[in-house]
Amino acid sequence: MMENKAPIIEINNLSYRYASEDVLKDLNLTVHKGDFLAILGPNGSGKSTLIKLLLQLLKNQKGEIFIYGTPIEKFYAWEKIGFVPQKANAFNTGFPATVYEVVRSGLTKKTGLFHFYPRNVKEKVIDVLRAVEMEDLINRNIGELSGGQQQRVFIARALISDPEIILLDEPTVGIDSKRVASFINLLERLNKEKNITLIMVTHDLSAVINQVTHIAWLNRSLQFHGSVKEFKNINKVNAQSFYQTDLESVSNVQVNGGKH
Ligand SMILES: Nc1ncnc2c1ncn2[C@@H]1O[C@H](COP(=O)(O)OP(=O)(O)OP(=O)(O)O)[C@@H](O)[C@H]1O
């Protein structure tokens, strides 16, 4: 059972406000090793704020976050945590960087380790590009790639420091729906085969429900957190008020595994 797995992120009574606006209210959430967690919720529900707090781009105001049991303010092993931003199509065709250079830039946190071993860097870049099936495009200009391909490059960039956790903030925005499926399958593979814990903000429940292991439904406070099985069970009981109405209005999801 998942409860036997080690908790790697523990959020206790976390609240956050910008100016006079309470954005996160009294959040409690534990993520275990190997979870593939989708964070869903309406626009403005605090999803990105939560990710920023987990990356310490924002500092805690109230409540605590522990990573591997360490209070996040005292956590320094950031190479264990990768981040994939919402960046599909972020580079135009003239952007002067190759796929190789973009992936290599993910090593900045570990420069000390790789600085004197340029050959190893190249091997490592090829290795992570292979993991996302992009090794053939290593010398291409990043701006010439599709949004979906660029996101794979960003996954490779996150993978290069051998992270144990990857946070993703709406990684499929701007990617056409055919490619979203293969992108989510890639994430599932990283989760299952490399046992990387994934925490992904998404609007698209139907695209991820068969791959993720857990769902957190956020609307400033946490409305639900549990396994996909528990989520489906709740929705059988409470389909109208929760699954159908709330989520469909947010994301135009087609429930029951419908394609779009
Ligand atoms: N830097 C900021 N200063 C003031 N208010 C902010 C700031 N960033 C976000 N907010 C507000 O906080 C609320 C939550 O924003 P957040 O980006 O966390 O939501 P979200 O769930 O990620 O939304 P979306 O799905 O639209 O991306 C919103 O009302 C937003 O306007």
Per-position b or e across 107-136, b if 16+ CB within 10 A of its CB = bebeeeebeeeeeebeebbeebbebbebee
What is residue 80's DSSP assignment? G
Q: What is the pLDDT of residue 121?
A: 87
Give pLDDT, residue 147: 81
CA of 201 to the centre of ligand 1 (A): 13
Work out the pLDDT band at 108, boundaries 50, 70, 90.
low
Q: Find tokens 């939560």 and name the residue.
A: 50
Least confident of 4-13, 21-30, 238-247: 238-247
Q: Which atom of ligand 1 is nearest to the CA of 218?
A: 21
Calculate the alpha carbon distances from 33 to 5, 12, 164 in Å: 6, 18, 8
Q: Which of 193, 217, 202, 211 is nearest to 168 (CA)?
A: 202
User: Are 99 and 142 contacting, i.e. CB atoms less than 8 angstroms apart?
Assistant: yes
Q: For all residues of the chain together, what is the average pLDDT?
A: 83
Counting from 1 in the atom list of ligand 1, the atom nearest the Cα of 170 is: 27
What's the whole-number mean pLDDT along residues 168-179? 83
d(CA 143, CA 92): 5
Q: Is residue 18 within 6 Å of ligand 1 at its C-beta?
A: yes
Ligand 1 atom closest to the CA of 41, numbered from 1:
21
Whether residue 65 contacts residue 260, with contact meaning beta carbons closer than 8 Å, is answered with no
CA distance 83 to 124: 18
44 Cα: distance to centroid of ligand 1 (angstroms): 5
Q: Does 117 have pLDDT greater than 70?
A: no
Helices in the chain by DSSP H: which ranges? 47-54, 99-104, 111-114, 118-131, 147-159, 177-193, 205-208, 228-238, 248-251
Q: Would you say residue 145 has pLDDT above 70?
A: yes
What per-residue confidence (pLDDT) applies to 253?
37
Answer yes or no: is the C-beta of 49 below 6 A from any ligand 1 atom. Answer: yes
| pLDDT score of 236 | 59
Asked if residue 216 has pLDDT above 70, the reply is: yes
Confidence of residue 259 (pLDDT cuts 50, 70, 90): very low
Contact (CB, 8 A) for 60 and 53: yes
User: What is the interface pTM, i.e. ipTM, of the complex?
Assistant: 0.96
Residue 78's Cβ-count burial label (10 Å; 0-12, 13-18, 19+) is: middle
- The encoded tokens of residue 114 equal 């790789």
